[in-house]
Structure 1
């Protein structure tokens, strides 16, 4: 594994662990609409990406990051990988801020936006052969675009279900995925266009989410 990925996973695990055992730290650095808009605490747009709701949430995000990062590193290098990951976290949380701007109480945490950006960039480059093993059953694997479909499908379901308030940044997936896709299209347009069918399949839950947000005005 590349050193930078080890560092990101290690730092995320350490910060998440510390915050889970220190509620004041958790509250200070999580994504919160009121704190960002009224107190101008814009640092939360980034720091929320290093906090997690519990150890399973942390494990899932770091495992997915670990499985999908190699094509990104091979195609974009360390700088490109960092751009996609960090910018996807920021854009994902900015999108959440846009959606929930009228709900000052809304809070969320998680590296979901960054992970979504990495998934979309990876599948844009190699949708079929970018596979992910099932946790604890490494000899079973599914194509990356199928995993992306399930991953985003679950996130959209969790976001839209009644009384959903698990503090996980499901909305950030849409902004993060958008950045990962757009960045790859700009750098490798032919690959992204060639794999558009797989990207469309993986995007179905996010397209539905966009419909619920912008057409039905169900959220916000």
Structure 2
């Protein structure tokens, strides 16, 4: 239910912001607003707004499929709001390096839930590395996708071109893995056992 609530809230706020420039400006990650005006809420609310419908759809579909698969793990370890805490933590951690790098840049803005969604996706991969996932209609093992995803994100982040925040994707993925292992260290041994038994 937490996953569905996050999706519902994100969709509602995103649609409102796409039709209300002032709301978008109040929620988007704009570093000077945090550094100068202490608008710390932007470290979370940037994940509630998206650039367009396709951006929103991709993130929410991914969250729908993988969030429901891992929500029970966080509920069992942290209580009823465990997954919500994980998701909010992922939003903050995934964007912090970007904020610190651009805190003096008045021209920089970032938005979208991709960092937190990456955390959810990698938490799933850590627990089920050989599960089949669909990438652009092509099925592949989750662990293979993870390797390709990280390699691509590192490459694109170093290039520094385009409007996609690849740094947030990487930090979100790292948070998803680290937080999951912190909650239940035995997941690591399970992951390694699964890796040793490949299933294609």
Shorter-normalised TM-score: what interval? 0.7 to 0.9
RMSD: 2.5
2:120 paired residue among 118, 121, 124: 118
In structure 1, the residue matched to 2:171 is: 175
CA contact (8 A) 1:128 1:145 kept: yes
In structure 2, the residue matched to 1:15 is: 13
Instruction: Tell me the CA shift for residue 155 of structure 1.
Output: 4.1
Gaps of 5+ in 1: 200-220
CA contact (8 A) 1:95 1:174 kept: no
In structure 1, the residue matched to 2:65 is: 67
When normalised by structure 1's length, the TM-score is 0.75
Instruction: Tell me the CA shift for residue 49 of structure 1.
Output: 0.4
Distance, in Å, in 2 between the alignment partners of 1:23 and 1:152 is 33
Q: Kindly tell me: are residues 47 and 112 of structure 1, through their superposed partners in 2, closer, same or farther at Cα, counting changes over 3 Å?
A: same
2:96 paired residue among 89, 94, 97: 94
When normalised by structure 2's length, the TM-score is 0.82
Gaps of 5+ in 2: 196-200
CA contact (8 A) 2:14 2:49 kept: yes
In structure 2, the residue matched to 1:24 is: 22
In structure 2, the residue matched to 1:189 is: 185
The 5 A counterparts of 1:67-216 are 67-77=65-75, 78-129=80-131, 131-134=132-135, 137=137, 140-161=138-159, 163-164=161-162, 166=163, 168-195=164-191
CA contact (8 A) 1:71 1:126 kept: no
Q: Kindly tell me: are residues 158 and 109 of structure 1, through their superposed partners in 2, closer, same or farther at Cα, counting changes over 3 Å?
A: farther
